[in-house]
Amino acid sequence: MNYYAFISGLPELSFNEQKKVFSTHEFKEELFKILSWKDKRVMRKLYLKCDNDNLMSYLKYGEEEMVFNDKANYTLEEIIGMVENVKNEDDKWNNKYPEYLRLFIHDYFYFEKDPKEFWEDHLSGHYYNFLLTKTRNKFLKQWSELNMNIRNILTTLSARRIGIEYDHFIVGNNDVANFLRTAQHPAGIAECIDYYEQMREIDEIPDLLDKEHEIDLFLWKWLDEYTFFHYFDVEKIMAYLFKLRIIERWKMLNHEKGNEIFRNIVHDLKSSVKLLKK
């Protein structure tokens, strides 16, 4: 479907955006007014990441202390209902909810995972597998696989550099993930991943914030290249949303509160490495 009027009215975005742009929440509200039924189904898969955050926050902190992301597809009541449904072993799973959420909730309560694995990684694995197997949109599939590959390659390189096991940190089941779990050295993946050397160079950046900046810049350029000949279709809209997310993330990180959050993340990562080495 052609979205000429909507896309033509969007302000142009730049990677180092300084001027105020609307939020991803505002973008979603306007977007869903004009999308076709088919394209809404595709876009909802993008917002499932927010549902993942809400599910994980609810499981870890409970209803009273969790932080709810209002950009999600499902309400808190629906998230709680999913959890109770699986906990009570109720076979009446509502098919409007993605099956991967049921699988993850079941794993969370009944699966003996590797103690070194984080539940967030476990959920990400289910989510990526869902996107790669249950999505017909070529752009969304390639974007999802790109993000999963980058995450897995950088995880492998970082873990090898500090001398810890990493196979339990790798998410998904595509060829790259399976290769990284079993290969003696990740460099072998360069034969089928043309951006491996770029990831290796990014991994060598000492400052964590600079490293994240280069990853997002790489993703931004990929979006530009992929959508160069997409003018007024849903792929152009999806790319715009991903860019908005990048801008929002860096506006948060550029403020003192963002810096404080980032320092806490680094502290948690260091603590996790110490535990894994024991």
Whether residue 258 is predicted with pLDDT greater than 50 in this model: the reply is: no
In the 3-class helix/strand/coil scheme, how is the chain assigned residue by residue? CCCHHHHHCCCCCCCCCCCCCCCHHHHHHHHCCCCCHHHHHHHHHHHHHHHHHHHHHHHHHHHHHCCCCCCCCCCHHHHHHHHHHHHCCCCCCCCCCCHHHHHHHHHHHHCCCCCCCCHHHHHHHHHHHHHHHHCCCHHHHHHHHHHHHHHHHHHHHHHHHHCCCCHHHCCCCCHHHHHHHHCCCHHHHHHCCCCHHHHHHHHCCCCHHHHHHHHHHHHHHHHHHHCCCCCCCHHHHHHHHHHHHHHHHHHHHCCHHHHHHHHHHHHHHHHHHHHHHC
> For 20-67, what is each residue's pLDDT tens digit?
788 888 999 999 999 999 999 999 999 999 999 999 999 999 999 999
> For 143-174, what is each residue's pLDDT tens digit?
999 999 999 999 999 988 888 888 888 999 99
Whether residue 262 is predicted with pLDDT greater than 70 in this model: the reply is: no
